[in-house]
Structure 1
C-alpha cells in the first residue's frame, strides 16, 4: 500500500521536478562516431567551459574546502550560460599523499562535486594529473623514474574512477592536459616551458626516450592509464586533451590519435586558439584530428583572433565536431560589464555570444 501511495504521489509532482531524476550517461553511438544519451537516440553536443581556476588564479582544490558556496554559485552561472559540460582540472599533488596512498579528504570533496553536478544537471570532464602549481609538486614525485611516475599516475586515476564510476554526471576522464614527449629545452624537467599566469599547463610523460620512438612511448602510457581506469570503471569515456601540432606544422600527424596509440581513447580532444587572419589554417589543422571518432575542441577562446573570426571558426568547425569547450573564471557577463574596462567588455561580449550559441536543449 505504501509503495502504491508513493507512486501515486509522484504522478502529482510537476514534470520538471520528476525530470531531475532522469540524467542519462553520455555514451558513444553504436558506430562510435558520435555522442548519444544512454538509452535514447538523442545526440549530445558538448557545449562546455573550462573551470580551471578562479578570478584570482586559485585552483579548485585551493578553495573547495572553505568556499564551497562559491562553486555552487559558479555552477549556477555556468548553467545559465547554456553550458552542459564543466571541465575541471584535478591536481595530482592534491590527490596523492604518497606514491600509493590517495588523499581521501580530497576524494570525498570530488564526490561532493559530482553530486553537485548531478543536482545542476551538468556533466563533468575530469582532467587529471595536473601539476599546474610547481610549488605544490612534492619532491618525491619529481624524483621518480618514468615507470614509477606512471604507476603513481595510474593510482591517481584508479582512485578518481573508483570515486566517480557510478555517476551519470561524469562525462569523461581526460588523462592529462597537453602531454608531450621528451626533448626540447630543459629536457630533464617534467614541466615544460615558462609558466602561463603562474601555471605549468604542459607536462612531459618521459624525460628519456631510451631508444623508443614517440608512438611506442605514447601507446604504453595511454594503455597504462586507461587500463587502470577500466579496472574499476568500464563505461565512462576516456580522452586526452592535446596540443594540435598540425596547427603549428601543417604536415604534422596526430600522435595520441594515431592508429597505434589512440585505440583505448573514446574520442579526440584538441585545443584551438585560431590566429587573426588564419581561420582557414585552423580549420585545415582541425580536420587532421577527424579520425573517425567524436571530435571535441576541448579548449577554445578568441585569444588571438576577433570575436567575428571566432564565430566563423566555430561555424566552419561545427559539421566535423561533437563539441566545444570555452572558459569560465567565476565572473559573470554583468560583472565584466560593470568593471568598465576594455578587457571586461571583450569578455562580456564573448560570454554573451557563448550563451547565444548554446545548442537547443542546453539553454
Structure 2
C-alpha cells in the first residue's frame, strides 16, 4: 500500500498547489493581447482579427487612508494583489495607476531602481489577473514626496528630468502586453498671462492633482508650449518603446467654461498623442451639457473618459451620461479606493453609501460596456 499512499499524497499536493494558484489568480483570463489603434484611427482593437476593445476601468490612485499606491506597494503587496482581484471581479478590464515623480527619481538623471522593479512586478500582476494598465506619470500629488531639487529646476531642466522619468518607465514597460498606455501627466496646465510662482495649482484636500508645465510663457502661445512639451515627452518614450499608446489626461475646460476649444487636443498639440483622455464629472441636471462638451474632444481618435464618478450627480445621471456618450466614446475609467462594496455598506456614511452604490452600478454595466452594447436611454 505504500505506493498507493504515495500516489494519493502526490495527487493531494498537486490539487493543493492548483487551488493555491487559483487563490492567487482567481479570475485568470486568457493571455492579454496588445491594444492597438484601428486602421480607421478612431477606436481600439486587439488580436489578429482586430476585435474592438472598449476600456472599462478604475483609477487605483490611493487607498482608503489617502495613501498613494507607490507609498505602500513595497510593504503591503498582499493588499495590492487583493485589490486587483476585487477590481477584476467588479468587471473592469483596465486599472489606471499614478506614479509619483519623487518616488521614481533620485536626481534629475537617476531613476529609483527599486521603484522601477516594483512597477514591473505590478505589470506582471496585472497580466496574471487580466487587467490592462493605464500608467499615468509625473505625479506630484503629495508635496512631501517632491524632492527640493525638482522644484528648483528651471523649465528646461524640469522638462529634461521629466523626459528621463519617461525613459525609465518606457524601458521597464517595453514589450509588456498588460500596458495599455502611458498618460504623460495628470491634468497639466500652462501659466496664464502673468507668471506663476508654484508648479502646482490649488489642492483638493491634501493632494495636488493639477500641475503646470511652465511658470512663465515668455510671450509664447499656449499651444506652442503644450506641443513642445508633448513632443519632448513622447520622444523620450519612443527611444525605448515604439508600440504602447500615449495620451495625456486633461481637464475638460470646454465643459468648465461652457465653450472654447481643447488645448492638448488641438491639431497642433495632439498629433503625437494616440488617443484622447479627458476627465468628466457630470453635474446634476446638466447631462446634456456634459454630452455636448464631450463632443468637442471627438477629433477622430479613440476617446476615453479617463475619470468619471458619481461626484456631482447620482448614479442614474452618471449612467445616462455614459450611455449617451457611448456612440462616440471608447472607454470610461471610474475609481476604486481599496474598499469592497460590502465594507462600504457597513460604514453607514453618506460618502461610503455613494461609493458603494456607484460600484454596484459600475459592475452591472461592465459586460455591456466592454461588449460595446451600451446605448442611449430611451425617453
| Shared fold per TM-score greater than 0.5 | yes
Distance 1:21 1:80 in 2: 15
Tell me the SS of whatever aligns to 1:358.
helix
Contact 2:310 2:354 in 1 (8 A): no
Pick the aligned partner of 1:238 from 246, 249, 252: 246
Distance 1:184 1:143 in 2: 22
Q: What is aligned with 2:320?
A: 312
Tell me the SS of whatever aligns to 1:86.
strand
Q: What is aligned with 1:163?
A: 172
Cα deviation, residue 20, structure 1:
4.8
Q: Write out per-residue CA displacement over residues 260-306 of structure 1, whole angstroms, 9 at most, x where no aligned residue.
A: 01000000000001111111111111000000000000000110112
Distance 2:35 2:52 in 1: 9
Pick the aligned partner of 1:253 from 248, 261, 270: 261
Q: Write out per-residue CA displacement over residues 116-155 of structure 1, whole angstroms, 9 at most, x where no aligned residue.
A: 0000010000000000001211111001010110000000
Contact 1:176 1:240 in 2 (8 A): yes
Instruction: State how 1:1-363 maps to structure 2 within 5 Å.
Output: 20=29, 22-183=31-192, 187-193=196-202, 195-360=203-368
Cα deviation, residue 40, structure 1:
2.6
Distance 1:343 1:20 in 2: 33
Q: Write out per-residue CA displacement over residues 244-265 of structure 1, whole angstroms, 9 at most, x where no aligned residue.
A: 0010122210110110010000
Distance 2:176 2:359 in 1: 29
Contact 2:315 2:358 in 1 (8 A): yes
Distance 2:150 2:248 in 1: 21
Cα deviation, residue 362, structure 1:
5.9
Distance 2:162 2:260 in 1: 28
Tell me the SS of whatever aligns to 1:43.
strand
Tell me the SS of whatever aligns to 1:273.
coil
What is the total number of aligned residue pairs between the two structures?
347
Which runs of 5 or more structure 1 residues have no equivalent in the other structure?
A: 1-15
Normalised by the length of structure 1, the TM-score is 0.92
Contact 1:45 1:359 in 2 (8 A): no
Contact 1:337 1:348 in 2 (8 A): yes
Contact 2:186 2:249 in 1 (8 A): yes
Q: What is aligned with 1:5?
A: none
Distance 1:325 1:247 in 2: 18
Cα deviation, residue 206, structure 1:
0.1
Q: Write out per-residue CA displacement over residues 150-172 of structure 1, whole angstroms, 9 at most, x where no aligned residue.
A: 00000000000100111100000
Distance 2:296 2:177 in 1: 31
Tell me the SS of whatever aligns to 1:353.
helix
Normalised by the length of structure 2, the TM-score is 0.89
Distance 1:41 1:149 in 2: 39
Distance 2:178 2:159 in 1: 27
Cα deviation, residue 311, structure 1:
1.2
Distance 2:48 2:194 in 1: 49
Q: What is aligned with 1:11?
A: none
| TM-aligned CA distance change 1:199 to 1:304, over 3 Å | same
Contact 1:127 1:177 in 2 (8 A): yes
Contact 1:24 1:39 in 2 (8 A): no
Cα deviation, residue 348, structure 1:
1.2
Q: Comparing 341-350 with 241-250, which one deviates more in the overlay?
A: 341-350
